[in-house]
Amino acid sequence: MQAVHTNHLFNMHKTQFSLIVLVLLNVYGNRAIFWNIENSELLVLHNAYRRDIKYGTVLDQPKADSMLKLQWSHKLAKLAQAWAFHCVPTRSNLTMRDGSKWTYVGQNIAVVSKITFADTTHIGCGFAKCKNLEAPNNILVVCNYGPGGKYINRKPYEPRFYEDLPYFIIV
């Protein structure tokens, strides 16, 4: 699985950011891989990664002070599906991102770690079999996340370092 970039949605003070995850998967022939998307492996893997961040089991990453479990959003999935059908592994334009409960969805390219924004609570993904992709049987997967996003000068989550410090009682 190769992540090209991630998508987060943020709705606070009418400022919204998003990043899109475009993942190319080489799957088994023409079989559909998301019959029940709410219980899909994508949701399970996202939550497993977030759990690993929370408990500090991701190499070279500090524990998170808090990390919410993601839930499925049909609205975010609908937006992701609309973009996936274009079979273009790049960002969508503003009109393609219109229609969510957020006023609009902006985009910024970022690394996969944007999935770890502690405030992110929802995910919605879409997929399409795309003949124009380089390898046979490639499926383009697009995921939207919300709320959350890239805030200027803000970490995706607050590290939990205090558990590792010695405990002193001052009398």
Model confidence at 14: pLDDT above 50: no
For 73-112, write each residue's pLDDT tens digit.
888 888 888 888 888 876 555 454 455 554 444 443 343 5
Model confidence at 41: pLDDT above 60: yes
pTM more than 0.75:
no
Strand order from edge to edge, sheet including 122-129? 2-3, 21-26, 138-146, 122-129, 71-72
Model confidence at 169: pLDDT above 70: no
Note the pLDDT of residue 29.
35
Angle at 31 between CA 30 and CA 37, to 5 degrees: 130
Two tokens, residue 166:
């010695």
Model confidence at 168: pLDDT above 50: no
Would you tell me which CATH number, out of the four given (1.10.10.10, 3.40.33.10, 3.40.50.11540, 3.40.50.880), belongs to the domain 2-164?
3.40.33.10
Model confidence at 7: pLDDT above 60: no
User: How deeply is 58 buried, as exposed, middle or buried, from its count of CB atoms within 10 A (0-12, 13-18, 19+)?
Assistant: middle
- In order, the DSSP letters of 49-110 are HHHHHHHT-STT-PPBS--PPPEE-HHHHHHHHHHHTT---S---GGGGTTSSSS-------
Are the C-beta atoms of 124 and 76 separated by less than 8 Å? yes
Q: Give the domain ranges of the chain.
A: 2-164
Note the pLDDT of residue 38.
52
